[in-house]
Amino acid sequence: MTIWNERYNQEDYAFGTAPNVYFKSIIDTLKPGRLLVPGAGEGRDAVYAATLGWQVDAFDLSIVGKEKALQLAKNQGVNIEYQMQDVAQFEGTGAGYDLAAIIYLHLPPDLRRDFFGRLHHFLLPGGLVVLEGFNPLQISLTSGGPKDPTMLLTPEILQTELRNIQPLENCQTRLILNEGPLHQGEAEVVRYLGRFNPYLPC
């Protein structure tokens, strides 16, 4: 995707090299397993998970993001699998994931509903979803995110669109971002943690 290639085409990492704080707070408590990172960007979360012993499959549309992610992994002495892939075409890699990390992946509504509705197919029973993204109050702030309100997230959207996922945490909050040049300052976000329950109705 040209816009992300342009944003990533600099020496600095657009969102830093440290993992997202919420993602880190969750994965630090878990036994290593298999992790899926859609919209992995420059790889900060994927690489951090690999340093903890996770087997990581990541994908994104940006070739520059992929190159920087693989360089970050090399610098950290770990390996990640990173594919050039669109969420619309992603069908999994044949085995279930213990965790999916969706960190600041903002999609048009139709694409989001489709992907969120299929996400449970990629998880093992009991597998987790951890998500952080901007909510509509972010529109008035300058710390990042899309300015199209239809691409922003609410707890109600996540409750409705993440099928067969039982929420363990689903809240909206204001915090201070310090994640590289593009995520700085006050931000309005949603944070979500859920578990795949195959016995929930779709």
Residues 175-197 pLDDT 10s: 999 999 999 999 999 999 999 99
Q: Give the H/E segment covering residue 129.
A: strand 123-134
CATH, residue 67: 3.40.50.150
**Sign of the CA dihedral 117, 123, 124, 127?**
negative
Helix axes 44-51, 63-76, angle to 10 degrees: 30
What pLDDT is recorded for position 92? Answer: 80
* pTM across the whole model: 0.95
Please indicate, yes or no, if residue 56 is contained in any of the structural domains: yes
Which domain range does residue 106 map to? 2-196
What pLDDT, on the 0 to 100 scale, is given for residue 113?
Answer: 98
Q: Is residue 82 part of a domain?
A: yes
Residue 202 has pLDDT above 60, yes or no: no
Residue 201 lies in a domain: no
* pLDDT of 1 over the 70 cut: no
Q: What is the pLDDT of residue 30?
A: 98
Strand partners, 88: none
Q: Alpha-carbon distance 158 to 131, whole Å?
A: 9
What Cα–Cα distance (Å) separates residue 30 from each residue in 45, 56, 185?
15, 14, 29
Residue 172 lies in a domain: yes
Q: How sure is the predictor about 81, in pLDDT bands with cuts at 50, 70 and 90? A: very high
Is residue 202 situated within a structural domain? no
**How large is the average pLDDT for residues 144-149?**
96
| pLDDT score for 200 | 77
* Helix, strand, or coil (residue 2): helix
pLDDT score at 201: 67
Is residue 170 a part of any domain in this protein?
A: yes
Number of domains in the chain: 1
pLDDT at 95 over 70: no
Is the residue at 111 inside a domain? yes
